[in-house]
Chain A
Amino acid sequence: MVNTTPVIGRNGSITINGAEAGYIKGVTFDMDADVIKDYKFTSDIPAVLESGNKSFKFSFEKMFIDTTYAAQVLAGTKMTILLGPANSTPTGQPKYTLTNAIILHHGWRDEQNGVVIENGSGEAAALTIGTYS
């Protein structure tokens, strides 16, 4: 059976200090990790191969930030970005949370109730994959 309801949406909400501050659309992740690799004598395969320091970059098509928070976000205030499924009853569905996210690259335009940032990118301190309860 084909499930036509997307499990993970690429759209999500933005919160700052627990308060809803905006909306984000078209988010893609780009996670980097340093490689920890070492060899021992007499062997050409790694004796140690681990994932090291990580960075969680993301890019997005559009972000709307309410006027109240616009100046803070543009100045580098950290946000939490919550990405979830498209349906309205997400219990049991995967939940992606980018915490302490900052915007690194953006241009913006003013709208009546806030600012719109298009084709921007940023980096978060962590990406957590959980489940809606």
Chain B
Amino acid sequence: MSKSPAEVGKELFEKEEQKDREVAKKFSPQKILEDAKAIRVLNDPVLGEVKYTVLTTGDLLAMNKITDEWERARSTIFRLLHKAYPELKEEKDVDNFPGHVTTRLCELIADPENFFQIPQASTNGSQSTKKRKSSA
């Protein structure tokens, strides 16, 4: 006997909600580690498409040891970009960036909405300006 439209809809929503609950409640270190390696994209009107990866705890610990403000900024830029751009092999490579590029990157870093936004649980899809590109 076929189900009525109301029964079909009710079952569909119950299944979706069950799935949402399962996804929301699972803490998975494996998924977190994979997510940390994922290359993300920031669309900036000045620099264009900037690919980056999130800073890890190791990055933060290393950067915390740097006392000079400019060296820490350089380290931050390098750590954000080097996994997405293999041609950046060491922090000193950032020194060859034109000044206006580094300045713009520093401006982007200063705004927590750009590289450091904490992902929010949302049912409305991803943000328009930041999208996951691929897994590294």
Contacts and interface: CB of A to CB of B under 8 A. Distances in A.
A118 B100 CA distance: 45
Contacts of B9: 22-25, 63-65, 114, 116
A113 B10 contact: no
A111 B15 CA distance: 13
Interface string A52-71: 00000000001111100100
Interface majority SS (helix, strand, loop, mixed), chain B: helix
Interface in B1-33: 4-10, 12-13
A22 B6 contact: yes
B12 A14 contact: no
A79 to B, nearest CB: 12
Contact of A113 (B8, B13, B123): B8
* Chain B, interface residues (CB within 8 Å), range: 10 to 19
Interface residues of A, number: 20
Interface majority SS (helix, strand, loop, mixed), chain A: strand
Contacts of B8: 23, 64, 66, 113-114
Contacts of B6: 13-14, 20, 22-23
Contact of A20 (B4, B12, B13, B123): B4
A25 B116 CA distance: 36
Interface string B39-58: 00000000000000000000
Contacts of A13: 6
A21 interface: yes
Contacts of B123: 118
B10 A11 contact: yes
Contacts of B4: 20
Nearest to A111: B12
Contacts of A118: 123
Interface of A: 11, 13-14, 20-25, 62-66, 69, 111, 113-114, 116, 118
6 contacts: A23-B13, A64-B5, A64-B8, A64-B9, A64-B10, A113-B5
